[in-house]
Amino acid sequence: MKKLLIFLSVIGVLAVAIYVFRAPLKQMAYDGVTSDMFVAVDNDAFDPGPLVGSNFPGVTATWQGREVRLLDEFAGSRGTVFVATRSADWCPYCMKQMIELQEHKAAYDEAGIGIVAMTYDDPTLQQAFIEKWGIEYPVLHDVDTLSFKTLGILNKSYQPGDDAYGIPHPGTIIISPEGVVVGKLFLEAYSVRVDALSALEYALQALASAEAD
């Protein structure tokens, strides 16, 4: 009986420890798998999405409880960086990318470029992430996969009914103040993303080139 009580006590202590430390442990695991996810350039041939030089087709989305079709209200004076990402709820690469964008939001603001992100997550899940990490740029909810389908970036590896159905191929689309797509950053591996400052430099170059034409 004494051994049983000791065993149950140990199990109880372990259960409490797991409960108390599960969030830090989860974050440590996320930090581990994302430690080398950022690259400085888009160095592969993967190129879904609207053609450079075409008009950005708009979105079918919600934000703060209302419908959104155009991104004009989120644009900076020089343009917009639209970031399509998989999930702010379960994808560690997406979460780290969105957090890093927030860390460098001031640089984007100074450059006159607005940031807009979009995921397929339910808005309540998005809001939990936004509040936890202090995200200040808009995070849109794609309605019925219509935005990602229209943009040509819906990941067709998943079918309706799958938990991940509705996710996009993650990437970034650069949009001029006139609504023209002037550049894109898409990497075939979902676990690799162009870092926020490199993406900003690319956006500035793409917008400057478009302005010069």
Structure confidence by residue, pLDDT tens digits, 60-83: 999 999 999 999 999 999 999 999
For position 78, what pLDDT does the model report? 97
| 17 confidence band (pLDDT: 50, 70, 90) | very low
Rounded CA-CA distance 204/158 in Å is 34
| 16 confidence band (pLDDT: 50, 70, 90) | low
pTM of this structure:
0.87
* Rounded mean pLDDT, 5-22: 54
CB 183, CB 52: distance < 8 Å: yes
Structure confidence by residue, pLDDT tens digits, 95-135: 999 999 999 999 999 999 999 999 999 999 999 999 999 99
Q: Where are the domains of the chain?
A: 1-33, 38-212
Q: What is the CATH number of domain 38-212?
A: 3.40.30.10
**SS3 of residue 166 by DSSP:** coil
* Res. 201: pLDDT tops 90: yes
For position 212, what pLDDT does the model report? 87
First and final C-alpha spacing in the chain: 84
CB 60, CB 146: distance < 8 Å: yes
Structure confidence by residue, pLDDT tens digits, 147-175: 999 999 999 999 999 999 999 999 999 99
The 10 Å Cβ neighbour count of residue 37 is 17
Paired sense of beta strands 61-63 and 66-68, if any: antiparallel
CB 213, CB 199: distance < 8 Å: no
| 139 confidence band (pLDDT: 50, 70, 90) | very high
Rounded CA-CA distance 183/210 in Å is 9
| 50 confidence band (pLDDT: 50, 70, 90) | very high
For position 160, what pLDDT does the model report? 94
* Rounded mean pLDDT, 17-28: 57
Dig out the tokens for 153 from the structure.
Answer: 């970036």
